[in-house]
Amino acid sequence: MSSDIRKNIYRLLEKTVLMLLCLIVAFTATSMVYANDNNGREAINVIHRTIKTVKQNKKVKLTKFIYKDLPEKKLPLYAESYRGLSLIKVSWSEKNKFFRRKLKSSYTIRGREAEPDFPEYREIRGSIDGEEVLVRGKLKNIKLNEYKYMKPFNATLIFYGNQSNVKNDGQKEYYEYKGLRLPAGNLEDYYKIYEEDILKAIKKDPSLYKLNKAEWIGGAKASVEGDKPIMIAKFSGVKEGKSWTAFYEEDIDDEALKYKVYKATCYYGKK
């Protein structure tokens, strides 16, 4: 082979190598432009002329665990990790609890049509940590109960007669007890006519008490006590009225019974 041919072959090879080098430089420059064009959401890396996109804000699976009623705003040592996972973040909340509840009591008055005048303060007997105590209670509320109150009662009165009111058959026309005069006939037939006066005589308020039965003990025939004829009357009835309940609560400041507790909401994951 002549020397001219060899020279031409060498020149052709040189040109070919130069062209390849130029292509490599151009491709690499283009790739680096993409790599530097970072918009904050993705990064582009060049690896062996291959473009790979990597997300920066990856979603990480977290495990949530809550620690309640912590005495201070501080995690216990065992909360620094959870089942092999690391603590990623923690959020705090707080609330008030009570060392104990206030002592309470109620007091009921029955048989009143109008609301009773309950005292503003009343003693409350209770137990604190197994020890009996007596504290001052303050009136908090008064409630009218739904049911009608009815309490039975009985009363017996002795009525006296005298010689000035004798009928022709020898029986007394009426019998008297402290100004209350009742006929000598069958008391069950007419006691309702005298109901208000009878209730006053046995010291019962007619607005609260009602009679439902009255009779002469031993019948309508008088007996004699000393030189006076007597009749003994037995009355039965009920006390009617409304029932009222007052509610009392220990007179102590809430702040004296409060204390704070904390709740930590922890999130665990792989770092």
In 3D, which of 172, 176, 158 has the Cα closest to residue 234? 158
The whole-angstrom separation of Cα 229 and Cα 105 is: 54
Backbone angles phi, psi at 13, to 5 degrees: -65, -40
Q: Is 251 helix (H, G, I), strand (E, B) or coil?
A: coil
Q: Is 67 helix (H, G, I), strand (E, B) or coil?
A: strand
The pTM assigned to this predicted structure is: 0.44
The whole-angstrom separation of Cα 29 and Cα 46 is: 11
The whole-angstrom separation of Cα 27 and Cα 226 is: 145
Cβ atoms of 144 and 241 closer than 8 Å: no
Beta bridge partners of 124: 135
The whole-angstrom separation of Cα 237 and Cα 209 is: 7
Residue type at position 82: Y
Residue type at position 183: P
In 3D, which of 222, 257, 259, 215 has the Cα closest to residue 236? 215
Instruction: Give 178's contacts (C-beta < 8 A, 6+ positions apart).
Output: 201
Q: Return per-residue pLDDT of the chain as tens, 271 residues.
A: 556 666 666 676 666 655 665 554 444 433 333 333 333 323 222 222 222 333 345 666 888 989 998 999 999 888 888 888 889 999 999 999 888 889 999 999 987 878 999 999 999 998 888 888 899 999 999 999 987 778 899 999 999 886 555 444 445 578 899 989 998 788 999 999 999 999 999 999 898 899 999 999 987 677 777 778 888 999 999 988 889 999 999 998 888 888 899 999 999 988 7
User: Given its phi and psi angles, is residue 201 left (phi above 0), alpha (psi -120 to 50 degrees) or beta?
Assistant: alpha
Quick one: tokens of 135? 């504290």
